[in-house]
A and B are shown apart, each in its own frame.
Chain A
Amino acid sequence: MSSLALALRPLEFFLTQYKRVWRGTAVTSVVTPVVYLLALGVGLGVFVDRSADLPNGISYLAFVAPGLMAATAMQMATFEASFPVLAAIKWDRQYHAMLATPLRVRDVMLGHQAFFAFRLVLTATVYFVVITAFGAVDSPLGVLAIPVTVLVGLSFSTAIAAWAAHTKTEVTFIAIFRFLILPMFLFSGTFFPISTLPTPLEVIAWFTPLWHGVTLCRDLTLGDVSPDDFLHLAYLVACVTVGLLAARMTYRKRLVV
């Protein structure tokens, strides 16, 4: 309990900092979904729908939109938890300022994650409004894709923050973006069902949090939920939990010396 209350104080810092830049991010969070949906949902969608054999005869727009929503959260969370976390440890050292006060390492870690959650809620909400406006949401259950998207983001922000607190230099982030995040973006069921992948790749895709997030978001916006969706949800919750534990460990190792 008290742990969570103390985590609100670092959150206040990150929000104060965010107040300076929110306008830019607000524009990005509207423009990004519009551009993606125009290009992929509408543009590419015309071709896909002509030869369509998507399940239940849905449009490509309706297929790709919820996937993009989850995938965007992954990218944002990864970026936010990489450089800024290392900066707060190494360059700008804001964590050290916090730790000289009553705040503890876990408050600092949770406070930063709370800020990522806040950003994710805003981004996911805007994304949802945009895809709804594009007519890509078929069910009122679709609104639940917002919290699911936040969970997808948090599975990445916790794991990446754990890594950022461990790594000595920022060069590893570039490798993560290129060799983990980009392939996940492309091959986790966002743009096409993973059943079309060769079996080994399909198996790998099962383990990515993004695939579970994309599938769950899609089932919700299409109103096509099944008991499997609880497994997807459980998987995401497990990822966030493991990520938090890992972050707590690496933060402590880095900051308590």
Chain B
Amino acid sequence: MASGNGHPLIQARNLVKRFDDFVAVDGIDFDLQRGEAFGFLGPNGAGKTSTMRMIGCVSPVTDGTLSVLGMDPARDGVKIRGRLGVVPQQDTLDMELTVRENVIIYGRYFGIPRKQLGARADELLEFVELTERANDKVEPLSGGMKRRLTIARSLVNEPEVMLLDEPTTGLDPQARHVVWDRLYRLKRQGVTLLLTTHYMDEAEQLCDRLVVMDRGKIVAEGSPRDLIERYSTREVVELRFDDGSRPDDLSHWTDGLVSRVESLPDRVLLYTDDGDAASHGIHERGLVPEAVLVRRSTLEDVFLHLTGRSLIE
């Protein structure tokens, strides 16, 4: 558990972002402590990116208060940004420059002397395993490599907080694991991580604490473990049926066996602390689905329970 010594690193109170009539962030509160890995979990359009952009001092706060590193983004944007490391959702690498040049020129934006930047770039490229590609252009790199380069670049100013907006969206599973590994190491080195994601596995892997966002609001807050315990059961039984064989009323089959039933278009989810017992029970009562899967509860189930919708539509 990350315990803050003194002020939180980032604090939001009733934070609002409006674009004309559209309310992207609708009065959220949160605190981020030093050394913590904190996540915003939610589907696309939940307001995660707008929140990140306000914290990154590139998007003005519409209403409420936000303090980042003890400063006001409206007044001290330059100072705050100098101490943040930003990994945006969309890469902003220069395709024509080499991998190494991208890190160096980014360091120059922070005013770091060129003399220091050569060694630092080499070190960072080593960290993200891009040393061999240092003198190649960025354009032909794979998506995973580009992401790693963006991470290396964002570390050039030795940031106190990293803002990662959907760090692994669009990457294949292998590339995602490499990115997670690097972020995990940074976390262990004491870098504070703030990330948004719509992947529950990413949130579970990386976050000490997270908030679940939906339609601009925070609907729950806690550690992944807490949230699952609070809003879901230990296990889930997933039932799939052949066309037409799905019973209209499931309560007859499930009453007394499970604590909650969630009916989705393609499957039925039974929430219970003992999945095997429940699947055995309904089988004994004579319900035979096409497929049965017993699994542990995830944040996806939390999200489903809280909002009635899936994370990835």
Is chain B found bound to chain A in the same assembly?
Answer: yes
Interface residues of A (CB under 8 A from B): 9-10, 12-13, 16-17, 20, 92-94, 96-104, 256-257
Contact (Cβ within 8 A) B78 A9: no
Q: List 20 A-B contacts (CB under 8 A).
A: A9-B109, A13-B94, A17-B94, A20-B97, A92-B95, A93-B90, A93-B91, A94-B92, A96-B90, A96-B92, A98-B109, A100-B58, A100-B86, A100-B88, A102-B78, A102-B82, A102-B109, A256-B58, A256-B59, A256-B60
Within 8 A of A (CB), among B62-110: 77-79, 81-82, 84, 86, 88, 90-97, 101, 105-106, 108-110
- Report the nearest A residue to B110, measured CB to CB: A101
- The reply on B286 being an interface residue by CB < 8 A is no
Known: A100-B88, A104-B77. 8 other contacts (CB 8 A): A12-B108, A20-B97, A94-B92, A100-B84, A100-B86, A101-B110, A103-B109, A257-B59
Question: Chain B contacts of A256 at CB under 8 A?
Answer: 58-60
Question: How far does the alpha carbon of A96 sit from the alpha carbon of B106 in the complex, in Å?
Answer: 12
- Given the complex of chains A and B, what is the CA–CA distance between A17 and B98 in angstroms? 10
Interface size on B, as a range, is 20 to 34
Judging by beta carbons under 8 Å apart, are A100 and B90 in contact? no
State the CA gap A102–B112 with chains docked (Å): 11
Residues of B within 8 A of A93 (CB): 90-92
Contact A100 B56 (CB under 8 A): yes
Contact between chains at B19 and A17 (CB < 8 Å): no
- In the bound complex, do residue A99 and residue B58 qualify as a contact, i.e. CB atoms below 8 Å apart? yes
Please encode chain B, from 135 to 163, with 1 for each CB lying within 8 Å of some chain A CB and 0 for all others: 00000000000000000000001000000
Q: Name the residue in B59, B88, B96, B105 with the highest tally of chain A Cβ atoms < 10 Å from its Cβ.
A: B105
How would you classify the secondary structure of chain B's contact residues: helix, strand, loop or mixed?
loop
CB-CB under 8 A from B78, the residues of chain A are: 102, 104
**For residue A10, which residues in chain B have a CB less than 8 angstroms away from its CB?**
109
Interface check B113, CB cutoff 8 A: no
| B256 CB within 8 Å of chain A | no
A83 to chain B, nearest CB (A): 14
Q: Which residues of chain A are near B82, meaning CB under 8 Å? A: 101-102
The B254-294 residues at the A interface (CB cut-off 8 A) are none
Instruction: Give the distance to chain B from A91, nearest Cβ to Cβ, in Å.
Output: 10
Task: Tell me the complex Cα distance, A99–B88, Å.
Answer: 11
Q: How distant is B195 from chain A, measured CB to nearest CB, in Å?
A: 15
Q: Indicate which residue in A12, A20, A99, A104 contacts B96 across the interface (CB closer than 8 Å).
A: A20
Please provide the 9 A-B residue pairs with the shortest distance between their CB atoms, ordered closest to farther: A97-B92, A101-B109, A100-B86, A93-B92, A102-B82, A102-B78, A96-B92, A13-B105, A102-B81
Contact at A16–B81, with CB atoms within 8 Å? Answer: no
Q: Which of A16, A101, A103 contacts B97 (CB 8 A)?
A: A16
**In the complex, what residues of B have CB within 8 A of residue A20's CB?**
96-97
CA distance A152 to B109 in the complex (A): 29
Cβ of B111 within 8 Å of any chain A Cβ, yes or no, is: yes
CA distance A100 to B53 in the complex (A): 9
Q: How far is the CA of A92 from the CA of B139 in the complex (A)?
A: 11
Q: Decide: A17 and B97 in contact? CB cutoff 8 A.
A: yes
The answer to whether B81 touches A92, judged by C-beta atoms less than 8 angstroms apart, is no
Question: Is the pair B81, A9 in contact by a Cβ cutoff of 8 Å?
Answer: no
Minimum C-beta distance from A22 to chain B (A): 13
> Most chain-A CB neighbours within 10 Å: which of B78, B93, B110?
B78
For residue A98, which residues in chain B have a CB less than 8 angstroms away from its CB?
A: 109
Q: Closest residue of chain A to B101, judged by CB?
A: A16
Residue among A92, A98, A101, A256 with the highest chain B CB neighbour number at 10 A:
A101
A97, B110: Cα distance in complex, Å: 12
